[in-house]
Amino acid sequence: MSEVYTAQELMVAVASREIHDGDLVFVGMRLPILAYAVALETHAPNARGLFEVGLMRDRPADAFLGTMGDPPNVAGAVWATRMSNAMALMAQGRVDLGFIGGAEVDRFGNLNTSYVGDPAGPAVKLPGSGGGADIAILSRRWVTLMNHERRRLVDRVSFLTSPGHGDGSRGWRERNGLLGGGPVAIITTLCVFRFPEGGGEAYLDTLHPGHTVEEVREQTGWVVKLGAQMGETAPPTRAELTAIRSRS
Amino acid sequence: MSMAEAIERFVPDGSRVAMGTALEPLIPFAAGHELIRQKRRELELVGPISDALFDQLIGAGCVSRVTAAWVGNVSEGLGHCYRRACEQGVPGSLEVHDHSNFSISLALWAAAWNVPSLPTRTLLGSDILHTNPNLSTGFGMVHVGAVRPDVAIVHAQRADAIGRAHLWGPLGITEEAGLAADRVVVSCEELVDSNVTLSDPNRILLPETKVVAVVHEPGGAHPSPVQGYFKRDHAFYRDYAEQSRSENGFASWLKRWVLDVTDRATYLQGIDVERLRIHHHKYSAPTDFGDE
């Protein structure tokens, strides 16, 4: 029997494994920033983090951050600059991986962070894109992390703030001029979905230990496709847990 | 100049105002609260992500349009006043011109360079293209129409009386906002002699010819952080999120922290400033501008 861990700790560990050594990562707050810290301490010591506020770092800040612009994230930065300079790197295809949060994701990996219902008279006005749409369109690949709830994993988003694989047809991104390759994974509290090369519909790649396909189907707003080699998500290693817990 | 005078003279009703341009740090809350006290109306707010300040101005009825990438409360989530305005027209209807962080930066650079638009690949495939009339597509690109603010309000670590402001840390879209704006109002933690600002002209972010007012306003960015001066007051943002959840809660928050407060110094009496002040300084090495 391995160690006890939370769903969030597992999500962070899975997210950290998406970061390769030497990557330039567009880091978000909360779970992704933890994932960046874990990657640095386990397998990717040379990964750098880029923050849209206008910062680059080669190691996470030591203190707690409420936002990416907090003073401990600035002290020790390897670059403090303008937002447009951080975006320039992304526009050149030099950002290897991005993390994006969202209120809703659909089966093609599109995210909605703008409107629930008609934009002219929305049922819910969400805060908006922030840098989400930019990361979705310009970073080479990206990942989203989400609580696995039926209202969040919807068949099609009602408003496409940050494009994933669009209408799900093969090559949609390329045809529409989007620079990066799009979403590679949706990491949830129950499982990991991945996407076929070249775009398309998410398939269930690995189930988190202790969860079932039925549970995923029940909590997902689309008809879930299973991956050809569906397996179990590798639980967090001792090193990953140590790295996570030293920071939370 | 006092903040009251700067706002009175340079930010009339109907202005297009850029604020909060450094994203989470250096947000000119003191200026925003003065806009509320002076009952400004029909403002268009321009910014990237607005950490609670836009929400407050919207709730106070000052705003008719928002041109921004994100409006909410960064560490707490949704902006409740923003939601009420968009969903229920409370306290008034609100027009939203959605942007991404990159596209609002480009809109300001376009205005700064005096061109009608700038092309970019960002926003290709996004529905934001359909809700913002200032964005169009052609030749495989998105064309971001220029956004020219009447005034940019910038909080700086230090400035001299002539308007040379030193800012450091991440700058967000402050440079393009200031260059694009017709005029710039600066508030600062420290009002310093020109010898200080001129000792490092690289750190003067904006041309003094754009600056129309300098307000010495220590703590003017609270609850946002100011590198070298103040930490972010996370609890204050949390309290605001909780209280602004209801219309009545927002009204009492506004009364306590804005309407019943005469100026920033009075406001700061209600804050444990020492808990937030940065004491452990990390000075950069001096820069040699020697010339002979």
Whether A232 is a known active-site residue: answer no
Model confidence band, residue A30 (pLDDT cutoffs 50, 70, 90) = confident
Q: What is the pLDDT of residue B244?
A: 98
Backbone region of residue B171 per phi and psi (left: phi > 0; alpha: psi in -120 to 50; beta: other values): alpha
Tokens of B183: 């005029």
Backbone region of residue B125 per phi and psi (left: phi > 0; alpha: psi in -120 to 50; beta: other values): left
Instruction: State the average pLDDT for chain A.
Output: 96
How many structural domains comprise chain B? 1
Model confidence band, residue A1 (pLDDT cutoffs 50, 70, 90) = very low
Q: Could you give the CA distance from residue A84 to residue B113 in angstroms, rounded to a whole number?
A: 15
CB-nearest to A128 from B98, B122, B172 is B98
What residues contact B89, with CB distance under 8 A and at least 6 apart?
A: none
What residues contact A28, with CB distance under 8 A and at least 6 apart?
A: A99, A100, A101
Q: How many CB atoms lie within 10 A of CB A58?
A: 14
Amino acid at B21: T
B205 three-state secondary structure = coil
Range of the structural domain that residue B211 is part of: 3-115+149-268
Q: Could you give the CA distance from residue B245 to residue B83 in angstroms, rounded to a whole number?
A: 10
pTM of the predicted structure, to 2 decimals: 0.97
Tell me, yes or no, whether B126 lies in a domain.
no
Q: What is the CATH number of the domain that holds B166?
A: 3.40.1080.10
Q: Which residue has the tokens 């009002």?
A: B191
Q: What is the pLDDT of residue B115?
A: 98
Q: A162–B24: do the CB atoms touch at under 8 Å?
A: no
- Per CB-CB distance under 8 Å, the chain A contacts of B75 are 66-67
Tell me, yes or no, whether B70 lies in a domain.
yes
**Which tens digits make up the pLDDT trace of A205-230?**
999 999 999 999 999 999 999 999 99
Tell me, yes or no, whether B285 lies in a domain.
no
Please report the domains of chain A, with CATH numbers, ordered by start residue.
7-245 (3.40.1080.10)
Q: Could you give the CA distance from residue A176 to residue B54 in angstroms, rounded to a whole number?
A: 34
Tell me, yes or no, whether B287 lies in a domain.
no
Beta strands, E only, chain A? 24-26, 48-51, 55-57, 79-80, 97-100, 104-106, 111-112, 115-116, 124-125, 142-146, 153-154, 183-188, 191-194, 203-207, 225-232
Tell me, yes or no, whether B282 lies in a domain.
no
- Per CB-CB distance under 8 Å, the chain A contacts of B46 are none
- Per CB-CB distance under 8 Å, the chain B contacts of A126 are 78
Tell me, yes or no, whether B289 lies in a domain.
no
Tell me, yes or no, whether B163 lies in a domain.
yes
Contacts with B, A 180-239, CB within 8 Å:
none
Q: What is the pLDDT of residue A2?
A: 60
Q: Which residue has the tokens 């407060």?
A: B261
**Which tens digits make up the pLDDT trace of B4-54?**
999 999 999 999 999 999 999 999 999 999 999 999 999 999 999 989 999
Q: Are B41 and B13 in contact (CB under 8 A)?
A: yes
Q: What Cα–Cα distance (Å) separates residue B138 from each residue in A35, A74, A146, B108? A: 39, 39, 35, 20
Q: Are A3 and A228 in contact (CB under 8 A)?
A: no
Tell me how close the Cα of B283 comes to any Cα of chain A, in angstroms.
Answer: 10
Q: What is the pLDDT of residue B167?
A: 98
Tell me, yes or no, whether B279 lies in a domain.
no
